[in-house]
Amino acid sequence: MRAVSAEAPKREEIEELLKTDLWELGRRAYEIRRRLYGDVATFIPNMVLNYTNVCVVGCSFCAFYRPPRHREAYTYSVEDAVKRVLEVDARYGIRQVLIQGGVNPEIGIEYFEGLFRAIKSKAPHIAIHALSPLEVEYLARRERASYREILERLKEAGMESMPGGGGEILVDEVRKIISPKKIDSETWLRIMEEAHKLGIPSSATMMYGHVESLRDIAEHLYKIAQLQAKTGGFMAFIAWNFEPGTSELGRKIPHPKTSATLLRMVAVARIVFNGLIPHIQAGWLTAGPETAQLALYFGADDFGGTLYDEKVLEWKRAEAPIDKKEDVIAIIRGTGFRPAERDNLYRIVRYF
């Protein structure tokens, strides 16, 4: 990817921003957002294909995964997975499928190559936004291949971009507490850098609201900014709140952070990534549509996707009054912003 010209801010500067008055942060972030995007707020009609819930990593914050051979474990065949994508597309019309699941020892790279090629052959208009650095690292070990080789094969099969899953907080002391079996922060960053070098853009994410400190959040944002200044490959940043649900970590931290915390994270991200990462997503799934509406006034320019068929946070999805694209359009209009449908690369294809 083409490197950007802006420089990453210092860790200390980011930590100070995180302590700044919320309304001051919002004012500064909104000024940047308005200068860049005016009154436009984008979204993408998409679905989430959670191809398996089998996972051997066992993160304490995840209530979705099941160990191998569990009675509730599932894995879609390539045929079933493609059928689900085509059915959602026929019903709603989508531009993107977000493909992510667990680290399932029974699934090799041929599964993804077959899946991606089948989707692109039957629905070439649907972009494949797929797999996380965690899944890429596992495939590299399984296939005894380099990260680059795995990414090249996935790209050749039809993968167009990567989500930022598995990032959580890029501080290893935090990761050892909430997900001790997951890849370390250096590996996550290295795989993202490799993807960017191959022309595979990605998202950057952050899961806050558990055991991290403000310094840890500052470190996370700093590392992402440093990589972006080098590669320019991150299209968007998405912060989301830890949702306790029925997870193991949820028993220790039963209450999520408030909506004000998301607004703070969105505003700080807009300021920190100004000139670096172009898009900041509002993150409606965990925070709720009402908070996401406010986030558009705190620096976010993208509302996110419709997220049809999402299963990882299915109970949160069920709480939201978003069943179709028209609901997202109405929610954005309700804020006073102008809704615009985008494609996988954040290019606007239609205004409403």
Residue numbers in the known binding site are 55, 59, 61-62, 132, 168
DSSP-assigned letter for residue 65: -
Pick out the residues of the known binding site for [4Fe-4S] cluster: 55, 59, 62
The H or E element that residue 9 is part of is none
- Tally Cβ neighbours within 10 Å of residue 311: 13
Q: Three-state DSSP class for 263?
A: helix
d(CA 316, CA 333): 22
Strand partners, 99: 49, 130
Which amino acid, one-letter code, is at 203?
Answer: S
Structure tokens at 2: 């083409």
Which positions make up the binding site for (3R)-3-methyl-D-ornithine? 132
Residue 97: C-alpha distances to residues 84, 154, 159, 229, 336 (Å) = 11, 15, 10, 28, 28
Question: b/e for 167-177, b at 16 or more Cβ within 10 A?
Answer: bbbbbeebbee
Per the annotation, binding residues for S-adenosyl-L-methionine are: 61, 168
Cβ atoms < 10 Å from Cβ of 72: 8
Amino acid at 211: V
Listed as own residue / partner, the contacts of 172-179 with beta carbons closer than 8 Å and 24 or more positions apart are: 173/216, 174/210, 174/211, 174/212, 174/216, 177/60, 177/211, 178/59, 178/60, 178/61, 178/210, 178/211, 178/249, 179/57, 179/59, 179/60, 179/61
CA dist., res. 271 & res. 17, Å (int): 9
Radius of gyration of the chain (CA): 19
- CA torsion, points 337, 340, 343, 348, in degrees to nearest 10? -100
* Phi, psi angles (nearest 5°) of residue 202: -150, 175
Structure tokens at 1: 């990817």
Scan for tokens 């909104």, then name that residue: 30
What is residue 90's three-state secondary structure? helix
Residue found under tokens 């597309």: 89
